[in-house]
Amino acid sequence: MMTTQDQMDALQVDVIVDEQVAMPVRAGRLVEAATAAARHRGCLQGEIGIRVAGDAEIQQINRTHLQHDYPTDVISFGYLHQPPRVEGELVVSAETAARTAADLNWIAANELILYVVHGTLHLCGMDDQQPQARAAMRQAEISIMQQLGIAMVDRHAVDGVEMGTAIDSAESCQSVGDQSVGDVDKPAACSPVQEERE
């Protein structure tokens, strides 16, 4: 039986799947992915929320928080990163995952897991705006995905660029307020990071 102290010392990951998401989503696999990515970065405590949305919903969030009026694959909202503690939220698009996976001849569920891993690494302090940081993040993704039993991930980067090539288009913004992935109308107290394929 878990005590209150054990619960405070553990990493809690919650998954919300929007009703309009048609793709089957195994929430347990997304929890496992976020937990593995957080542990990889030494973050063993805290809370991570994951919202699986469609393109229209992630486009609205992208427009509101990053001023980009188009859908994307993953947006990370980091609230706290003080290892071993992390707090943040991710929004991932199931429609983008399905579409991209079809283009890459890859499994849509694995693409969605990759988005969660990538977004969690951002929450846990990794960045990919410079080539060396991008290579380190890419290596972390490959390691974590292999730990999750998913092979061939080295062919499928979240940003659509192979490791060691051009700098991606990840962007950050700052806003103030109280944000939950289930409530997109309020500004976020975070630095959301958007990742997109080129």
Q: How many residues are there in the chain?
A: 198
Q: Which two tokens stand for residue 141?
A: 């993704």
Closest to 159 (Cα-Cα) out of 107, 104, 109: 104
| Structure tokens, 121 | 């690494």
Q: pLDDT-based confidence at 7, cuts 50/70/90?
A: low
For 142-171, write each residue's pLDDT tens digit. Answer: 999 999 999 876 666 665 554 333 223 233
pTM: 0.79
The residue written with tokens 């509101």 in the block is: 64
Whole-angstrom distance, CA of residue 155 vs CA of residue 151:
9
Q: Distance (Å, rounded) from C-alpha 109 to C-alpha 29?
A: 9
The whole-angstrom separation of Cα 107 and Cα 139 is 20
Beta strands 45-53 and 85-93, pairing class: parallel
Peptide bond into 192 cis (omega under 30): no
Whether residue 107 is predicted with pLDDT greater than 60 in this model: the reply is yes
Q: What residues contact 166, with CB distance under 8 A and at least 6 apart?
A: none
- 119-144 pLDDT, tens digit each: 999 999 999 999 999 999 999 999 99
The domain in which residue 47 lies consists of: 4-195
Structural domain tally of the chain?
A: 1
- The model's pLDDT over 67-91, given as tens digits with 9 standing for 90+, comes to 999 999 999 999 999 999 999 999 9
Give the CATH number, domain containing residue 150: 3.40.390.30
177-197 pLDDT, tens digit per residue, is: 233 343 333 233 344 555 543
Closest CA to 43 of 123, 138, 163: 123
